[in-house]
Amino acid sequence: MAIKLNKNKEFTELIKQNNLKFYKTAKAILKNDDDAYDAIQNALISMYENIHNLKDEKYFTTWGIRIVVNKCYDLIRKNNKVVSISLDNEQNKNEIETNDEYNLDLYGLEKILHDLDEQTRLLITLYYYDDLSINEISTIMNIPKGTVKSRLSRARNILKEKLEREGI
């Protein structure tokens, strides 16, 4: 039996609770605010139209993030573009020179995350930034739990090596 949500109030509340997770996920894939917002907008429309297919409200976050991920990949295919993981070095360099040491560390971490492959970056975002469980990530990425665990372990090792190399 599908859940029955008041399509205005309750749906809006669920979106508010998850909007940051949706944004972080879209940004991790698309690397561009405008594209991320476009993908999220398309995902919200899809969620609203298909909320009746969700069987249990407690799975809304996982269901919603999966839709966001799909819309991000749809946008990439539609635009027939390659997701750029490079940074505007000149602009960031100028901004960094005026910031404190803490921001330098954050920039270094951000740069390292940008240098990771898309799947690893998405996995790190879902686990550490969105605080999703291994089971939820498995569902969202459509891969077995064991694969999530092994990729997460590999990602930790890569991050550790890169952070040590950068001195962060």
Per-residue pLDDT band for 91 (boundaries 50, 70, 90) equals: very low
**Residues 8-18, mean pLDDT to the nearest whole number:** 88
**What token pair was written down for 153?**
């372990």
Evaluate if residue 2 carries a pLDDT over 70.
no
pLDDT digits over 58-90, tens only?
899 999 999 999 999 898 888 754 444 444 444
**Residues 90-101, mean pLDDT to the nearest whole number:** 44
Structure confidence at residue 132 (pLDDT): 87
pLDDT digits over 100-140, tens only?
443 434 555 677 777 788 888 888 888 888 888 999 999 98
Among 29, 23, 28, smallest CA distance to 43 is for 23
CB atoms within 10 A of CB 69: 22
CA distance 108 to 92: 11
CB atoms within 10 A of CB 60: 20
Per-residue pLDDT band for 94 (boundaries 50, 70, 90) equals: very low
Structure confidence at residue 108 (pLDDT): 59
Tell me how many degrees the CA angle 55-60-63 measures, rounded to the nearest 5.
Answer: 85
Whether the predicted model's global pTM rises above the 0.85 cut: no
Structure confidence at residue 102 (pLDDT): 39
CA distance 38 to 11: 19
